[in-house]
Structure 1
Amino acid sequence: MKAKCPKCKGIGSVVVDYKECDACGGTGFEEDAFDIGNHFKGVNSNAKAKFDLGGEEDIPCEVCNGKGQVEVFEECPYCHGTGQINVCRDCGKIIDEKYDICPDCEEKRKVEKMKFDEFEARRKAARDVYVLDSLCQMKDIDKNKLYKGKITRIERYGAFVSLNNNVWGLMRGDVSEYHVGEEVIVFITSIKSREGKIDFAPAYVDAYNLKRLTKSIPRTLIDQLEKKKGQIVRIDGEVQQIQQTSGPTIFIISDESGTAEIAAFDKAGERSYPEIELGDAVQVLGEVNEHGGKTQIESSSMTKLGEENTRKLHKLIDDALNKKAEPQHVDFLVKSDVLNRLKPKMREAARKIRRAILDGRTILIRHHNDADGICSGVAMEKAIIPLIEKYNPSNDAQYYYFKRSPSKAPFYELEDVVKDLSFALEDQERHGQKLPLIVLLDNGSTEEDIVSLMQAKIYDIEIVVIDHHSPGELLTKDERDGEIYGATVAVDEFVDTHVNPYLVGGDSQLTAGALATEVAHLINPNVKDLIMHLPAVAALGDRAECGEVYQYLQLAAEKGFTKQHILKIAECVDFEAYFLRFMNGRGIMDTILAVDNFDKHEKMIDALYKEYQKRVDTQLKATIPNIRKTQLENGIYFNLIDVEKYAHKFTFPAPGKTCGFVHDRIIKELGEDKPIVTLGHGPDFGVFRATDAVNEQYGFNVNDIVTVIAERVPQAGVDGGGHECAGSIKYIEGLGEEVLYKVVEEIQSLSKK
């Protein structure tokens, strides 16, 4: 620390000698003050004023102030001319420049710090104040600890203090300054165990740390709660959901063995344990009871676990759930090389769905609104809902954790993803639900899906796709013995698991309904007998033909369903789907598909099929006479029908179906082995149907045609796609004629292989 030099008084120099004043020659007076006549002459006016002299007085020398001598200065040897020296900041002793405190004071400080640290440690140790949870009893308390309680009654001899409902005692002495309801910190002076009485004294602490003292009881796994009814238990788990009712707060907690419902109540409609959030690892103490036929714990306390215990619990739960989510090793319903190559992906899809169920995430299923897509969705529904009800304690778990919605288009539209995200985020905000697992069935594989998939991925939502539409160009592929065993496509960047026969060398003839039913069987083998006929319905509804289809038809026959009846079911599904539009039709579709309400199935099919035939006949009477038929130069039979002008609008069948019925009628006339293409068009759309022969002989592919037309008429905003022999094209109405002309040109340019 710097201080003023004591030698030079901060000047920086000291007097070492005196010498005669040069100004006055040692006289001490001004030399020219008088003339010869001894009269005042030329006196310095400043000097006169300074010394208050009269006209005839002697004038002192201004330099030496009349002394005749002046001082001689040299640089101060102590401060070296700086005027400052370094001193100890505690005692002021002069010390070396590189220190700010002297050795004596430094040692003194160390001793004082050690004493302070020791005091502070003792002080902090005494600041822990414990709050008893509602389960603690007298045997759980310790005389050496401080406790926080509440005054419940005041008498002249003291105040009664309650630590919880089980532990209370008397704080003796003058209690005139206290009042009922006041919280106090006390220590125990005596425990009269034989009488069950405790004496307290007030503890005066300025600052303290509150710690919760919980009753030490062993952990119970959730799957053991049934055996513990009426008992106090402790469970450690992760918060899956928080629901605020008009009464208690309901917490859904899961551990490595299962999921439990915890009811916590402070005030009606008021959130209990507001510090507990979704995903927290907690310890719950409470009594096991039954509510609404389900086991429930009435919480006495709920606390967050520490960081280390949280890490251990999460790992324990994660390992256990991964093991439980692993699908059973069951055989496919039919024999198929394509299915065998797809098996790893199908098991992965099943594993992700099972894990989402165990995690308490909603399963959100989106499927195309036709027979194939609906069979896919219903098969999944029948496999998933029993598991949700098994692993979730809520009575209405299936409505919280499962949603199935149809999509009008055979791809994941922006309209669909906006609805799904909106509901998911709202459920997360209002009901404390986790973000869902999205499962796309009979859609999700094409480039048209990418924008919607990207939007869902912004929220890190997990997505599983099970589809049979052509995904376009394979980005990477693994070929063995001429067969593709694995590949990736454009949508895989935004999809977590992608099941599609094209990725392993298959094609669209293995329908989404078949794939989804096989995955549903992996998810829950118990539903095999219930859903085993659905792939046959999906195949006939999608006009699929392959070896697997015949095997699925045989399975349906084993259940008593003829091929003709299966076809009726598929047509009734399409008919009813038209009127259900965006509703999933659960119940109605179950009856039509013979997976529930079995006694009503035959009556429903009879009623719907008659109306179905009637409406199809009415539509064909309007369209058949107006088909423009021609055989192109390359041999392809091309048929054109304006479904906007020559078909009934806003009724079943819709334009796509109408085109299909027209195409079927022409096939009956010409034969299935002929290369036939039918195009039903409106002002801004077209619907393709083609025979397998035109695909095999000419390489006809709807997706290729759409791509070419988009390049040749870029201003028309061409979009669309689908299967090789069935799909659609969209364009700007004003350029409709040009687009159709280019389509005909492109088909006419095809040549035989």
Structure 2
Amino acid sequence: MKTNCPKCKGVGSVVVDYKECDACGGTGYEEDLFDVGSHFKGVNSKAKAKFDLGSDQDIPCEVCNGKGQVEVFEDCPYCHGTGQINVCRDCGKLIDENEDVCEDCMEKRKVEKMKHDEFEARQNQARDVYVLDSLCQMRDIDKDKLYKGKITRIERYGAFVSLNNNVWGLMRGDVSDYNVGEDIIVFITAIKSREGKIDFAPAYVEKYNLKRLTKSIPRTLISKLEEKKGKVVRIDGEVQQVQQTSGPTIFIISDESGTTEIAAFDKAGERSYPEIDVGDAVQVIGEVNEHSGKTQIESSSMTKLGPENTAKLLKLIDDALNKKAQPKDVDFLVKSDVLNRLRPKMYEAAQKIRRAILDGRTILLRHHNDADGICSGVAMEKAIVPLIQQANPSNDAEYYYFKRSPSKAPFYELEDVVKDLSFALEDQERHGQKLPLIVLLDNGSTEEDIVALMQAKIYDIEVVVIDHHSPGDLITKDERDGEIYGGTVAVDEYVDTHVNPYLVGGDSQLTAGCLATEVAHIINPDVKDLIKHLPAIAALGDRAECGEVYQYLQIASEKGFTKEHLAKVAECVDFEAYFLRFMNGRGIMDTILAVDNIDKHKKMIDALYKEYQKRIDTQLKAALPNIKKTQLDNGIYFNLLDVEKFAHKFTFPAPGKTCGFVHDHVIKELGEDKPIVTLGHGPDFGVFRATDAVNEQYGFNVNEIVSAMIDRVPQAGIDGGGHECAGSIKYIEGLGEEVLYKVVEEIQSLSKK
């Protein structure tokens, strides 16, 4: 900004010296002109008049004004003779010609602009307005916050505003524009005492976010609620489930120490806190009471935690639950190299199941509907259900968090996964349950399982498989000293934990019932004595023979069960399973397997076994005369039976069992050491049974037969598989004869090792 130079006052020059006045010669007076002639008389007269002098006084010099000296001028060095300088508009400091403000003032301007912008942003930004819960008192409020209240009374001097039943104050001034019952946003101007008076003023905010302010009380762990009955507590936890009843809304909340129910009520049958859903981290304040024998909190307030507190709480819970879910180190029921190599996977499976229980996820257990699969399922059930009851507050928790369902096929069918997903998604929608953990027993390892498993993984459902069916060739393997210690197969892409003896160099003789019982023992060691005889039943039901089976039979004998009796139990399980079909038959199977109602066990076995034998005899009378027997050129004894024509339909035993009984009859005739293959077939299916001898001598394997048929008759839509010596094949009915012909050719092509 241009302004007059302060040094030269805008003149442009300054006095630097003085010199003798040339006009007066330094005298300071004009020369006397009175005697010079009449020509100068006028001038002299003017000088006298100018200086107001008498006739006898000297006249001062007009140049130096009587000083005798005159000033010597030079250009002002400050403004360089211009008379103008450039100064800062804000502080007046001298600056360069091309600048408007100095650096200091420029910086101040930036700071002021930032402050202004920040102020503008705050003005445009939504403010937090707090709503007090019913438990908050005077000591819980803060002068720096905005609050939402309600006008409860109006007087000439102001209006009374209540923030809740415990906190109220006076809004002074002209309140003629307000009405009783009107909501208003206020800020605090004065807190005159923590238990007494508060003054409010209206807060004029256009944009705001309502937040619930809960009473400031210390956090209580859920495990400590029993000690707090009748008291108001605060818990921080994760919402596991939301159940809407005809009365209150029930929230299942868990923290790092346990799980409890929160009852919230607004109106009968109306959802409380609709903004809160499963998976949210919340803070709950309420009174601890007892309902139906279980501890419950009657909620006064429930609010979501902020992002930072949510992350901290969830990590705290996650770490605590991981530690709690870690199973104890226990010994296997038997000595086994295969089990030792499977130990890491078995403990991983146990940890995942225990963690799912603590997470409030349903355990959806699927097993094959035969003696081996049912023994697997019952062993797991007896281990899991007590832990669910311990972890959850509701009396019927096991019905919400555990489901056991049999599968007709020895693999996870599309029919099964569609039902499981449908119920799981419906439970999530209607009851707020989390998606389940699927545990597959005595199925889940083969390529036939992949399509169903793919559907489950679309919903990110965790899957654990405990199976002994051959999973096919290993994709990767770890061989040491000629033995396989670990590997992966095709199905592992869709399974989170896979327990199978084939992955560590074992085979199907260590059945799923044995493996599942061992995992159940790891999950819950307290059930060891209850379930330790189940592996022997499973092994006998699957005709398994190995060193581990003999040890399991010994363990069962120590409980008073003979091998003959256990074999009857296995057969009665298969018999009853036929009629139960897709029901789990929990009570009946518990009695048959002697894990409950022990006093009724023997009577049940006697009754079922008589009927079992009767039906088998009836079926064999129809089937045995119609077996087509031949000894193939390679020495294999091959037996063919049309179970569609020469067996009773729609009754026990089913075609697969019928083929097994026919096979057993042939073995009695020829001997166990003979290479015998029996094929029972219908219009669109076939069931294989073979002796160990044909497997050992000729390398017979049902899975390889099925694979060969897929290649040889691709148009027949062939599917199937199973164990090496027991399995099934499916095909199109119109090509049934061709498939059977090719099967016989394939078996005949086998050569002795």
Q: TM-score range by the shorter chain?
A: 0.7 to 0.9
2:586 match: secondary structure: coil
1:322 match: secondary structure: helix
Aligned equivalent of 2:180: 180
Which amino acid is 1:402 matched to?
A: F
How far apart are 1:142 and its partner, in Å?
3.6
Q: Where in structure 2 are the equivalents of 1:714-753 lying within 5 Å?
A: 714-753=714-753
Aligned equivalent of 1:578: 578
Aligned equivalent of 2:273: 273
- Contact (CA 8 Å) 2:233, 2:286: kept in 1 or not? yes
How far apart are 1:447 and its partner, in Å?
0.8
Q: 1: CA distance between counterparts of 2:573 and 2:435?
A: 31
Q: 1: CA distance between counterparts of 2:163 and 2:696?
A: 85
How far apart are 1:401 and its partner, in Å?
1.1
- Does residue 1:375 correspond to 2:375, yes or no? yes
Q: 2: CA distance between counterparts of 1:156 and 1:505?
A: 92
Q: Where in structure 2 are the equivalents of 1:404-419 lying within 5 Å?
A: 404-419=404-419
How far apart are 1:125 and its partner, in Å?
11
Which amino acid is 1:281 matched to?
A: A
How far apart are 1:123 and its partner, in Å?
6.3
How far apart are 1:158 and its partner, in Å?
4.7
- Contact (CA 8 Å) 2:126, 2:209: kept in 1 or not? no
- Does residue 1:334 correspond to 2:334, yes or no? yes
Which amino acid is 1:333 matched to?
A: L
- Does residue 1:361 correspond to 2:346, yes or no? no
How far apart are 1:223 and its partner, in Å?
1.1
How far apart are 1:291 and its partner, in Å?
1.4
Aligned equivalent of 1:325: 325
Give per-residue Cα distances to partners, 1:327-364, cap 9 Å, x unaligned.
Answer: 11000011111111111110111111111111111111
Which amino acid is 1:602 matched to?
A: K
| 490-499 or 633-642, larger mean C-alpha shift | 633-642
How far apart are 1:571 and its partner, in Å?
0.7
Aligned equivalent of 2:611: 611
Q: 2: CA distance between counterparts of 1:306 and 1:197?
A: 32
How far apart are 1:192 and its partner, in Å?
5.7
Aligned equivalent of 2:521: 521
Which amino acid is 2:555 matched to?
A: L
Q: 1: CA distance between counterparts of 2:419 and 2:121?
A: 59
1:354 match: secondary structure: helix
Q: Where in structure 2 are the equivalents of 1:195-214 lying within 5 Å?
A: 196-208=196-208, 210-214=210-214
How far apart are 1:453 and its partner, in Å?
1.0
Cα 1:254/1:692, change in 2 over 3 Å:
same
Q: Where in structure 2 are the equivalents of 1:568-647 lying within 5 Å?
A: 568-647=568-647
Which amino acid is 1:640 matched to?
A: L
How far apart are 1:189 and its partner, in Å?
5.3
Cα 1:162/1:510, change in 2 over 3 Å:
same
Cα 1:592/1:158, change in 2 over 3 Å:
same
1:416 match: secondary structure: helix
Q: 2: CA distance between counterparts of 1:441 and 1:265?
A: 42
- Contact (CA 8 Å) 2:659, 2:689: kept in 1 or not? yes
Aligned equivalent of 1:113: 113
Q: 1: CA distance between counterparts of 2:729 and 2:740?
A: 10
- Contact (CA 8 Å) 2:149, 2:161: kept in 1 or not? yes
How far apart are 1:269 and its partner, in Å?
2.1
Aligned equivalent of 1:533: 533
Q: 1: CA distance between counterparts of 2:708 and 2:194?
A: 96
1:529 match: secondary structure: helix
1:587 match: secondary structure: helix
Aligned-residue CA RMSD (Å): 2.5
How far apart are 1:423 and its partner, in Å?
1.1
Cα 1:343/1:636, change in 2 over 3 Å:
same
Q: Where in structure 2 are the equivalents of 1:156-195 lying within 5 Å?
A: 158-172=158-172, 174-188=174-188, 191=191, 193=193
Give per-residue Cα distances to partners, 1:13-64, cap 9 Å, x unaligned.
Answer: xxxxxxxxxxxxxxxxxxxxxxxxxxxxxxxxxxxxxxxxxxxxxxxxxxxx
Cα 1:475/1:116, change in 2 over 3 Å:
closer
Aligned equivalent of 2:709: 709
Cα 1:138/1:125, change in 2 over 3 Å:
farther
Q: Where in structure 2 are the equivalents of 1:434-513 lying within 5 Å?
A: 434-513=434-513
**TM-score normalised per structure 1:** 0.83
Q: 1: CA distance between counterparts of 2:615 and 2:477?
A: 46
Aligned equivalent of 2:696: 696
Structure 2 unaligned runs (5+)?
A: 1-97
Which amino acid is 2:227 matched to?
A: K
2:166 match: secondary structure: coil
- Contact (CA 8 Å) 2:138, 2:167: kept in 1 or not? yes
| 523-532 or 726-735, larger mean C-alpha shift | 726-735
Q: Where in structure 2 are the equivalents of 1:545-560 lying within 5 Å?
A: 545-560=545-560
- Contact (CA 8 Å) 2:125, 2:207: kept in 1 or not? no
Which amino acid is 2:648 matched to?
A: H
Q: 1: CA distance between counterparts of 2:468 and 2:265?
A: 51
Q: 2: CA distance between counterparts of 1:352 and 1:195?
A: 53
How far apart are 1:144 and its partner, in Å?
5.4
Which amino acid is 1:458 matched to?
A: I
How far apart are 1:621 and its partner, in Å?
0.8
Q: 2: CA distance between counterparts of 1:678 and 1:239?
A: 56
Which amino acid is 2:537 matched to?
A: V
Q: 1: CA distance between counterparts of 2:109 and 2:297?
A: 58
1:150 match: secondary structure: strand
How far apart are 1:618 and its partner, in Å?
0.6
Give per-residue Cα distances to partners, 1:407-435, cap 9 Å, x unaligned.
Answer: 11000111111111111111112222111
How far apart are 1:601 and its partner, in Å?
1.5
Which amino acid is 2:660 matched to?
A: G
Q: 2: CA distance between counterparts of 1:616 and 1:125?
A: 81
Which amino acid is 2:718 matched to?
A: V
How far apart are 1:190 and its partner, in Å?
5.3
Give per-residue Cα distances to partners, 1:266-318, cap 9 Å, x unaligned.
Answer: 22222222222221222222221111211111222222222222222222111
**TM-score normalised per structure 2:** 0.83
Cα 1:560/1:195, change in 2 over 3 Å:
closer
Q: 1: CA distance between counterparts of 2:136 and 2:454?
A: 53
Cα 1:198/1:575, change in 2 over 3 Å:
same
Aligned equivalent of 2:420: 420
How far apart are 1:141 and its partner, in Å?
2.5
| 191-200 or 632-641, larger mean C-alpha shift | 191-200
Which amino acid is 1:426 matched to?
A: E
Q: 1: CA distance between counterparts of 2:418 and 2:209?
A: 48
Which amino acid is 1:228 matched to?
A: K
Give per-residue Cα distances to partners, 1:680-722, cap 9 Å, x unaligned.
Answer: 1111111111111111111111111111222222222222111
Q: 2: CA distance between counterparts of 1:700 and 1:119?
A: 84
Cα 1:192/1:476, change in 2 over 3 Å:
closer
Which amino acid is 1:270 matched to?
A: E
Which amino acid is 2:682 matched to?
A: G
- Contact (CA 8 Å) 2:139, 2:195: kept in 1 or not? no
Give per-residue Cα distances to partners, 1:590-621, cap 9 Å, x unaligned.
Answer: 11111112222122112111111111111011
- Contact (CA 8 Å) 2:134, 2:300: kept in 1 or not? yes
Return the index of the structure with the highest Cα Rg.
2
Which amino acid is 1:645 matched to?
A: K
| 512-521 or 714-723, larger mean C-alpha shift | 714-723
How far apart are 1:727 and its partner, in Å?
0.8
Q: 1: CA distance between counterparts of 2:164 and 2:440?
A: 53
How far apart are 1:174 and its partner, in Å?
4.8
| 200-209 or 519-528, larger mean C-alpha shift | 200-209
Which amino acid is 1:140 matched to?
A: D
Structure 1 unaligned runs (5+)?
A: 1-98
- Contact (CA 8 Å) 2:138, 2:194: kept in 1 or not? no
Which amino acid is 2:717 matched to?
A: G
Cα 1:369/1:113, change in 2 over 3 Å:
same
- Contact (CA 8 Å) 2:288, 2:297: kept in 1 or not? yes
- Contact (CA 8 Å) 2:477, 2:485: kept in 1 or not? yes
How far apart are 1:112 and its partner, in Å?
6.7
Cα 1:530/1:131, change in 2 over 3 Å:
same
2:387 match: secondary structure: helix
Identical pairs, percent: 88
Q: 2: CA distance between counterparts of 1:299 and 1:166?
A: 18
Cα 1:142/1:738, change in 2 over 3 Å:
closer
1:296 match: secondary structure: strand
